[in-house]
Structure 1
């Protein structure tokens, strides 16, 4: 599907009906990353309208010279939300850089967000200032690697903490396939001009009180896990989970645990909605 924002074509996919969930992927891939890890959870859940976006310059969404920094990209996303679901509250999911942008949405319009999931979120925009562990491969699959090209081996090994055929197939289909569509000239310029916000995105005027889940990989050498502890104070209803045997592709390497924790988080979000419905019914009966 296509949505025009400031003459920029934003590609997105919708699945299901009900409570809107906005899904934001990381830097360079496309919405297939989020579909791959989130749709299996909704096989046994009804009542959600999942909205998967391709961020500007990624996937099939257009880039633009005017999107010079994170502030401008955030403005595009907020305009997209206001156009697609103008009068509705929504649930928010962000992975990696999408987790950074998601906190920008919380900063700007927290009152409309009913739950927040951050998977391996970028906490500190400047890579050189992040606290990250050294890259490590915990489970090596030589048989798999022998069947790949040297370029594929180098690419996969630079990210994978756990190597297996299943993990590689998901990595190739959900991440690499999207990266191949990215506008690399735009992304390089974007990184140079303003990958980080001009404001302190984690300095909120008041705490976010809706259910939150922060998922971090213990072996994530891209964004790390330690820096995320510093934003926990902003979220009064947060589960903070650091998963062993997981790097920056936590949703693939710890698939079962990821799905279980996300399902529990959705239960907590639903619980609040059910409580509000009960309150409304009680007021009508009076």
Structure 2
């Protein structure tokens, strides 16, 4: 499926009907990764329309020269969200760089975003990150995309990487990502706090974005649940799926109470 925005055509997948839930993937992959990781939270939970777009320069969403930095990507995503939701309030979730944009979207349009879930979020400023440490050795792989992303090197994790992560990396536009990466900082949005129900989830062993920054950022989200999960790195959605599902189900319940 595709929706044209002012600067590009956004490719996306969607499931179900009801309250729109926009889920944003991280850098260098496509919608298939969060689709695999977030969909279990909606099993048996009706009345949600889950929307998984490919971000500009990734998957099947092009990023021409007019998209020159993170501010341009943010503009595309806000435009896409308005069009995909039909102007209705929506829930917003993201992983890694997707969470970076999701946070900015919620701060830019808090009246539109009825709930926010940030998983292993990239945040503004310098990150305090631990050294990468493999917690469960097992399979041998020469693919650094796997070995530096996961801290659980099991056969099951490698299979998830090969099925849900690696295919998206092959579609990424390296030139566009480099161009956007040179201007990745977003202008701080006002207000700096966000009131609706929020979920913040980080991996204790995340060597990409760390966990300390998210713990500090929790003060900006007065109605948030903060979870630091042991036994998980930046690939937390794969490495701790049951805990993530439980946290997402609770977040959805809190957004329903807020809407009522």
Normalising TM by the smaller chain, what interval? over 0.9
**Counterpart of 2:166?**
176
**Counterpart of 1:38?**
38
* Superposition map of 1:48-197 within 5 A: 48-124=48-124, 129-141=126-138, 144-145=139-140, 148=141, 150=142, 152=143, 154-192=144-182, 194-197=183-186
**Cα distance in 2 between the residues matched to 1:233 and 1:41:** 26
Alpha-carbon RMSD: 1.4
Deviation string, structure 1 residues 73-105 (Cα, Å, up to 9, x no partner):
100111111222232000000110111101111
Deviates more, 1:108-117 or 1:228-237: 228-237
**Cα distance in 2 between the residues matched to 1:124 and 1:161:** 24
TM (norm. structure 1) is 0.87
CA shift for structure 1 position 206: 6.0
**Counterpart of 2:14?**
14
The structure-2 alpha-carbon separation of the partners of 1:206 and 1:185, relative to structure 1 and needing over 3 Å to count, comes to closer
* 1:25 and 1:55 in contact (8 A); partners too: yes
List, as ranges, runs of 4+ consecutive aligned residues in structure 1 with deviation greater than 4 Å: none
* 2:207 and 2:233 in contact (8 A); partners too: yes
Deviation string, structure 1 residues 106-138 (Cα, Å, up to 9, x no partner):
12101111110000000135xxx2100010001
TM (norm. structure 2) is 0.96
* 1:212 and 1:239 in contact (8 A); partners too: yes
Larger CA Rg, structure 1 vs 2: 1
**Cα distance in 2 between the residues matched to 1:206 and 1:183:** 32
CA shift for structure 1 position 229: 2.0
* 1:90 and 1:113 in contact (8 A); partners too: yes
* 1:223 and 1:248 in contact (8 A); partners too: yes
Unaligned runs of 5+ in 1: 276-286
Unaligned runs of 5+ in 2: none
**Cα distance in 2 between the residues matched to 1:20 and 1:99:** 17
**SS of equivalent to 2:67:** coil
**Counterpart of 1:209?**
195
- 1:262 equivalent to 2:248? Answer yes
* 1:124 and 1:227 in contact (8 A); partners too: no
* Superposition map of 1:226-265 within 5 A: 226-265=212-251
Count of matched residue positions in the alignment of Structure 1 and Structure 2: 260
**SS of equivalent to 1:52:** strand
CA shift for structure 1 position 232: 1.2
**Cα distance in 2 between the residues matched to 1:106 and 1:41:** 21
**Cα distance in 1 between the residues matched to 2:200 and 2:81:** 22
**SS of equivalent to 2:110:** helix
